[in-house]
Structures are given as C-alpha cells and as structure tokens.
C-alpha cells in the first residue's frame, strides 16, 4: 500500500482549507439546530459533530462529491449511515452561512426525493415500508461532519461508521479506484426482512427520546433530581451550573448511570450574557439543539427590609430575574431556529405568590420570575413554545441553598432552632408532608413532556399545600 500510494494525492488532493476550530464550532452551533428542525418531523433527533483530521481531509478534498455520491460499500456502514450522505455546498474561503441556511430546506427536500426514488426503483412486493428518508450524515467543506439519529449514542456511532467508510474510500481510491455497492444490492441489505423484524422488536422509544434539555442549577438537589428524571425518559441533558466542583460530581454521577453520550456539563453563571450565549452554543454543538429549558438556578437571602442592602437586592434580581431572562432568551432563539416548538419550565417558589417575613428581595425576584413566565407563554404560543412554572416550598434535603446561611436566617425569622425547621415546614403544610427534590422533578417532567401538551402559562405548586399560594 505504501509503495503504490507514494506520491498519490489523497482524495485527489485538497480543494479547500479548513476554517479554524472556533469558526467550525460556531458554524456547527448555527447549522445543527436548523438541520435538526428540518429532519425531526417524524421524531426528535440528536446530533453529533465531528471535525477530526480524517473527516476534514475528506470534506476538503477534490473528490468529496464524486466519492460521496458513490455511497458506502460495507453493509454495516450504510445500515447506520444510509447509502450516501448529503453534501452541504459551502466555500470556506468565502463563508456565507446565511446562504447555506437559506437553501437548507431545499437541499434536504432534494435528498428525500432522491431517497424515495432509490426506494421506489429497488423495492420488492414484500419490502418493508420506506423508513425515514432524511440523511443521517451531512458533510460540509471546511467545517466537518454532522450526524443525526434518534439518540446521541446512535448519532455518534453513525459518525464513527462513516469515518470507517472514509478510510475504505481512502485506501481504495489511493491504490486503485473506489466502487460503491450497486443500488439494488444496497437496498436488499438495508431493507432485508430479517433486519426489519429486528427493528420492529426494538423497545418502544421512551417519552423524551431524542429530546435535549438544559437544566440550570443542575448541580444542586432539584437540578440533579430533574436531570435524573429527564434522563430516565431518554432525554439528553446539559447540566449548567456555576459551581465547577459540584458540576463535575453531578455529571460523573449521572454519566455512570446513563452513559457519557447523554449528559454534558457546562459551566454557566446565569448573570453573564456571554456565558449564557456560549453555553447554549455548546449545547447546540454537543447535541444539535434544545427542546427543554429548566430554569432552576437560584439563591436565597433573608434580611429585614431596613437591613437589605442594594447589593443583596441586586444579587437576587440578577440571578432570579435577569438570569431567568437570559437563559430563556437563548432557548427561544434556538427554538425559533428549529421551528419544532419547545418547553420552558421555571422553578420559582411559593414565595413568588405569598409574602414571607424578612425576604423582600427574594420574594420580589421570584414574583418577577413568575410574571416573566406568563409573558413568555404569551410570546411563544404561536411557535408551539410552552412556558410553565413549578413552585416548590421548603425543599430542604439535597438543597445547596439550605446548607448555607439561609437555613439559619429562616430559623431566626421563625424564632426556632435550625433542627426544628424541617418539621416546622412539614407541619405548617396542609397535607403535613415534607417536599423532596424528586417531587419537584416529577412536576417538571410533567410540564416538559407531552402529558401537558395543551398547557402553557400555568403554575404547579409542589408545597404539600399552602393556602397563601393558591393561584387566583
């Protein structure tokens, strides 16, 4: 091989230069949600981005288009990748991403027509019905490869299979010429009846399969419980938090249970516009977009009004009001790019509806959250973007808020010891029950899932009953 390939230009030589890594990821963040939206009409898809050396060598080559059109040659390859990819026309020397976006729908529609023609010309009387006609693999000169499938692991593995196909093309075209499988032979393998029986026997997809969630405050008690609940239903989850150590711990804990394909950590201070924008871009690159935002970042403070400093007031407003605005705005931008709807769930508080002693800053900021949710529900409805609120109360166990001064401050406000605080909250509730992070997570899952598909602008109190916080 070395003797015969010596002096031979791989894939006909380089036709274009790669953009730098930062530019490649920025383009991926912009394109992947749009591709995802266009191909998720049957079911949600998760994406994977690969800009490895092997991929870039192929997508930048002179022979990209003729080789890609020949399709893959190994059955294991195209069972994962379909017989051929979709090549996105793009000149990295004159990068016009908006032009790519403008013709993306037509390119995808053209691919579907081609796949339908392939099916119609090769099918037998007993062939299984046509499957999803969308491409799995998308190749972009100067940028890399996007792959999409029903879950992140399958999208990643599909990409790995196409890299193997690239290696086969490299070897064959270097020493001789590459030949793909004839269309009929490829079809007979892809639509093999025994393969179809295997597909039919696969477990039914979970309720959030292919969906992507971002949970702020993801390293805390409610955040972890929520991530766990969504992951259990098949979602991919981005854990966003300001606490790097706790974030790494939460990510490792969940990845051990659900696999590293399905969970990612992103360090975000929700009061930083730059970090929020960057975090959502990272989510788009890692998973292809977003379907669910759980806005849960929080803090708690307690002080009589005359002792409430401007700094304390601003801190509450920055995190609980501005922070919720910033993450919601970025989620809406991705939702609108995808055009397949979306769900936002705010984790507010009983204190957003009912006044509490010595907590004016906190209560006011939580009330602002709730009204922001109402406004967003109104704005998002025409795009099938739902926005709802969960109001917890006194979730002591597993909460980072209750491990700090807040617990002592609330005990002082109620003139009792910290040891008696949990029992105080339990006994004051109408149902006389404690509230746990898992209870909040269950309500969040309900609002994020299709079980609540016809609800928006609503509030669910998870507080074991408090007449003061009844909605009116």
What is the set of active-site residues? 362
Provide the 10 A C-beta neighbour count for residue 177: 8
Alpha helices in 355-416 (DSSP H): 360-380, 405-413
Residues facing residue 386 across a β-bridge = 343
| φ and ψ of 6, to 5 deg | -60, 125
Q: How far apart are CA 349 and CA 362, in angstroms?
A: 10
Q: How far apart are CA 49 and CA 287, in angstroms?
A: 8
Q: Among candidates 291, 353, 296, 336, which has minimal Cα distance to 320? A: 296
User: What is the token pair recorded at 179?
Assistant: 């030949």
Q: Where do we find the tokens 């179809």?
A: 196
Angle made by CA atoms 166, 167, 168, in degrees to the nearest 5: 90
Element (H, E) at 42: none
411 Rama sector, left if φ>0, alpha if ψ -120 to 50, beta otherwise: alpha
First to last CA, the chain: 78
Provide the 10 A C-beta neighbour count for residue 1: 8
Task: Say if residue 343 is exposed, middle or buried (CB neighbours under 10 Å; 0-12, 13-18, 19+).
Answer: buried
Q: What secondary structure letter does DSSP report for 450?
A: G
Q: How far apart are CA 296 and CA 240, in angstroms?
A: 10
Q: How far apart are CA 345 and CA 389, in angstroms?
A: 5
Provide the 10 A C-beta neighbour count for residue 171: 13
- Strand, helix or coil for residue 458: coil
Element (H, E) at 396: none
The answer to whether 122 and 184 are in contact (CB under 8 A) is yes
Number of H helices, E strands in the chain: 18, 11
């Amino acid at each position: 091989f070395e003797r015969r390939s010596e002096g031979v230009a791989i894939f006909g030589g380089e036709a274009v230069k790669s953009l730098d890594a930062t530019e490649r990821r920025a383009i991926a963040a912009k394109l992947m949600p749009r591709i995802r939206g266009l191909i998720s009409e049957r079911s949600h898809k998760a994406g994977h981005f690969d800009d490895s050396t092997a991929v870039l060598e192929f997508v930048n080559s002179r022979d990209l288009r003729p080789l890609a059109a020949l399709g893959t040659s190994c059955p294991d390859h195209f069972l994962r990748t379909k017989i051929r990819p979709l090549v996105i026309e793009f000149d990295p020397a004159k990068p016009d991403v908006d032009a790519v976006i403008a013709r993306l729908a037509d390119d995808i529609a053209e691919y579907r027509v081609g796949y339908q023609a392939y099916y119609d010309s090769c099918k037998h009387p007993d062939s299984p019905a046509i499957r999803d006609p969308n491409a799995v693999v998308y190749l972009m000169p100067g940028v890399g490869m996007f792959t999409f499938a029903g879950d992140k692991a399958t999208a990643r593995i599909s990409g790995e299979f196409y890299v193997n196909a690239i290696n086969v093309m490299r070897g064959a075209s270097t020493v001789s010429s590459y030949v793909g499988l004839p269309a009929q032979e490829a079809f007979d393998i892809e639509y093999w009846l025994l393969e179809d029986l295997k597909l039919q026997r696969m477990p039914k997809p979970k309720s959030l399969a292919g969906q992507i969630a971002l949970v702020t405050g993801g390293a805390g008690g409610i955040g972890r419980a929520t991530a766990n609940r969504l992951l259990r239903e098949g979602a991919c989850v981005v854990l966003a938090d300001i606490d790097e150590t706790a974030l790494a711990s939460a990510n490792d804990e969940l990845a051990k249970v659900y696999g590293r394909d399905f969970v990612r950590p992103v360090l975000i201070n929700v009061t930083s516009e730059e970090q929020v924008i960057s975090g959502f871009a990272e989510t788009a690159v890692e998973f292809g977009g977003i379907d669910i935002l759980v806005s849960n970042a929080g803090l708690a403070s307690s002080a009589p009004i005359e002792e409430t400093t401007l700094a304390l007031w601003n801190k509450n407003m920055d995190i609980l009001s501005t922070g919720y605005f910033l993450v919601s705005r970025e989620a809406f931008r991705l939702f609108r790019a995808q055009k397949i709807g979306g769900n936002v769930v705010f984790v507010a508080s009983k204190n957003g509806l009912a006044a509490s002693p010595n907590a004016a800053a906190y209560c006011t900021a939580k009330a602002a959250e709730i009204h922001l949710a109402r406004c967003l529900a109104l704005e998002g409805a025409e795009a099938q973007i739902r926005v709802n609120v969960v109001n917890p109360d006194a979730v002591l166990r597993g909460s980072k808020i209750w491990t700090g001064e807040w617990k002592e401050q609330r005990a002082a406000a109620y003139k009792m010891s910290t040891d008696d605080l949990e029992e105080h909250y339990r006994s004051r509730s109408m149902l006389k029950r404690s509230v746990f992070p898992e209870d909040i997570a269950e309500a969040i899952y309900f609002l994020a899932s299709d079980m609540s598909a016809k609800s928006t602008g609503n509030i669910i109190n998870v507080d074991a009953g408090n007449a003061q916080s009844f909605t009116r």
